[in-house]
Amino acid sequence: MAANKAEGMLEGPQLAEFYELGLGEVHGVSAAHGQGIRSLLDAALDPLNIPEDDDAADPQQTGITKLAVAGRPNVGKSTLINAWLGEERLVAFDLPGTTRDAISVPFERNGQKFELIDTAGLRRKGKVFEAIEKFSVVKTLQAIESANVVLLLLDATQGVTDQDAHIAGYILESGRAVVLAVNKWDAVDSYEREQVQRQIEQRLPFLKFAEMHYISAIKRRGLGPLWGSIAQAHKAAMTKMTTPVLTRLLLEAVQFRAPKRSGMFRPKLRYAHRGGMNPPVIVVHGNSLEHVTDSYKRFLEGRFRKEFNLVGTPLRIELKTSKNPYADKE
Ligand SMILES: Nc1nc2c(ncn2[C@@H]2O[C@H](COP(=O)(O)OP(=O)(O)OP(=O)(O)O)[C@@H](O)[C@H]2O)c(=O)[nH]1
Ligand SMILES: [Mg+2]
């Protein structure tokens, strides 16, 4: 389906109404000005592989998953990477601040390529992160930003502290996919284990979307299952979401539960498209969307998460009220 005479509005909200026809992807084109023709042709000639605009930037096409291991000092980050490598490549020592620089190590497992990044342990003083060296903090934060997936490592012998929550908060803001692992599981008894599990629920509720593992890096226990979660998190972060599917799910969600009227305004959700990946961003267009409540946004998030099986990645939903003068007509 193509909508002609759409010069200058290929990305705009004016095309929203065509999605409401339920015929799938609509291609805005301008025959007179030659706009949108390339992607219309691509879609027409390759119906099984409709290209998405941002595929060129898809880091998954490089085939390498960048995995940063992050956490407080001394939780066992370097020990874990050594255990994976099967050799003592990185210095691990019972002293906070052993690792001072972010170090990348190439790694391959079952044909999947990884770049493992060991980082310096973070702690926060006041409002800023600190490490033994200023330089180390910058490197760690950069490593998190540049990763596809962050493995957040906790220390079972220390429990879940405010420091862990600060780091978790930073990772969440970065939008990276996350896997949680509690290390030194060998060194705690069953009472302490229960306590740690409860603390995770209480102090890291915002990481509910992430899978969790209990491991011992030093004894190399429980390490295998981490890879499944890492792969799953990366895949979820890169999930393809086409406009027709997103729009159908959106309209189904609205039918199931409509957003509440706020005074004179009743938000009208019209269509949705993907605005980014790693983290996935879903952009919802419509009218009076500033009146959509946070709880309704969470409801939408839950529906999208379930449909796309978004385990291990944050999901962002952006609401855009359209300026289309015709959008109000029913
Ligand atoms: N009991 C136990 N000790 C561990 C485990 N993993 C690491 N350790 C010990 O914890 C200490 C710190 O380990 P590192 O790997 O250096 O910790 P790190 O997180 O890299 O520390 P920084 O580089 O300072 O941030 C070492 O003495 C390790 O032997 C584990 O699974 N069980
Ligand atoms: Mg280290």
* Ligand 1 proximity of 79 Cβ (cutoff 6 Å): yes
Do 115 and 223 sit in the same domain of this protein?
A: yes
Residue 329 is assigned to a structural domain of this protein: no
Q: What is the pLDDT of residue 12?
A: 66
Contacts of 312 by beta carbon, 8 Å cutoff, 6+ apart: 149, 177, 178, 179, 209, 210, 211, 229, 232, 233, 234, 236, 237
Which of 12-21, 67-76, 164-173, 244-253 comes out lowest in average pLDDT? 12-21
Residues 104 and 133 in one domain: yes
In a shared domain, residues 129 and 205: yes
Looking at the structure, do residues 42 and 180 belong to the same domain, yes or no? no
Mean predicted confidence (pLDDT) in 121-140: 82
Cβ 221 vs Cβ 268: under 8 Å: no
Q: What is the pLDDT of residue 57?
A: 44
The secondary element (H helix, E strand) that includes residue 16 is: helix 16-19
Please tell me the number of Cα atoms within 13 Å of 318 on its side-chain side: 11
The alpha carbon of residue 109 and the mean position of all alpha carbons in its chain are separated, in whole angstroms, by: 23
Q: Is the same domain home to 114 and 183?
A: yes
Same domain, 207 and 302: no
Cα within 13 Å of Cα(51), Cβ side = 15
Return the structure tokens found at 65.
């998953």
Counting ligand 1 atoms within 8 A of each CB, the residue from 79, 101, 153, 182 with the most, and so the one to mutate, is 79
Indicate if ligand 1 lies below 6 Å from the C-beta of 140.
no
Q: How many residues can be counted in the chain?
A: 330
Q: Crossing angle of helices 162-174/190-203, nearest 10°?
A: 50
Place of tokens 């000005």: 33
Residue 230 shares a structural domain with residue 246:
no
The ligand 1 atom nearest the CA atom of 153? 19
Mind listing the pLDDT tens digit for each residue in 150-189? 999 999 999 999 999 999 999 999 999 999 999 999 999 9
- C-alpha neighbours within 13 Å on the C-beta side of residue 324: 19
pLDDT at 50 over 50: no
Identify the residue whose C-alpha is closest to ligand 1 atom 16: 92
Do 15 and 78 share a structural domain? no
Shared domain for 120 and 139, answered yes or no, is yes
Ligand nearest to the CA of 120: 1
Last residue of a domain, one of 214, 237, 260: 237
Tell me which residue has its CA closest to atom 7 in ligand 1: 76
Ligand in closest contact with the CA of 77? 1
pLDDT exceeds 70 at position 191: yes
Of the listed ranges 12-16, 62-66, 240-244, the least confidently predicted one is: 12-16
pLDDT above 90 covers a percentage of the chain that reads 65
Q: What is the pLDDT of residues 278-305, one digit of tens each?
A: 999 999 999 999 999 999 999 999 999 9
Q: Could you tell me if residue 327 is inside a domain?
A: no
From the list 276, 274, 270, 273, the residue with the least C-alpha distance to 289 is 270
The neighbour count for residue 327, using CB atoms within 10 Å, is 17
Tell me, using a 6 A CB cutoff, whether residue 94 lines ligand 1. yes
Q: CB within 8 A of 98, min separation 6: which ones?
A: 73, 74, 78, 91, 92
Distance from residue 124's CA to the centre of ligand 2 (Å): 17
Residue 238, pLDDT above cutoff 60: yes
Q: Is the minimum distance from the CB of 103 to ligand 1 under 6 angstroms?
A: no
Whether pLDDT at 325 is above 60: no
Whether 55 has a pLDDT exceeding 70, the answer reads no
CATH code of the domain in which 38 resides: 3.30.300.20
Domain assignment present for 326: no
Does residue 46 carry a pLDDT above 80? Answer: no
103: domain CATH number is: 3.40.50.300
Which residue's CA lies nearest to atom 8 of ligand 1?
A: 76
Which domain does 41 fall in, by range? 2-56+240-321
Query: pLDDT of 23-38, one tens digit each?
Result: 777 888 999 888 888 8
111 and 210 part of one domain? yes
Q: Which two tokens stand for residue 132?
A: 């033994």
Indicate the residue among 180, 203, 237 that finishes a domain: 237
Taking the centre of ligand 1 as the mean of its atom positions, its distance from the CA of residue 314, in whole angstroms, is: 28
Is the per-residue pLDDT at 323 higher than 70?
no
Can you tell me the distance from the alpha carbon of 168 to that of 173, in angstroms, rounded to the nearest whole number?
A: 9
Structural domains in the chain (count): 2
User: 141 CA distance to ligand 1 centroid (A)?
Assistant: 20
| pLDDT mean over 241-255 | 94
Q: How far is the CA of 201 from the centre of ligand 2 (A)?
A: 26
The answer to whether residues 200 and 155 belong to one domain is yes
| Same domain? 119 vs 267 | no
Q: Where does a domain end: 237, 263, 288?
A: 237
Please report the atom of ligand 1 found closest to the CA of residue 121. Answer: 25
Note the pLDDT of residue 7: 87
Is the CB–ligand 1 distance for residue 119 below 6 Å?
Answer: no
- pLDDT score at 61: 53
Q: What is the reported pLDDT for 131?
A: 67
Domain-located, residue 41: yes
Phi, psi torsion values for 126, nearest 5 degrees: 65, -125
Answer yes or no: is pLDDT of 53 > 60.
no
Segment (H or E) for 214: strand 211-214
DSSP-based three-state secondary structure for 320: strand
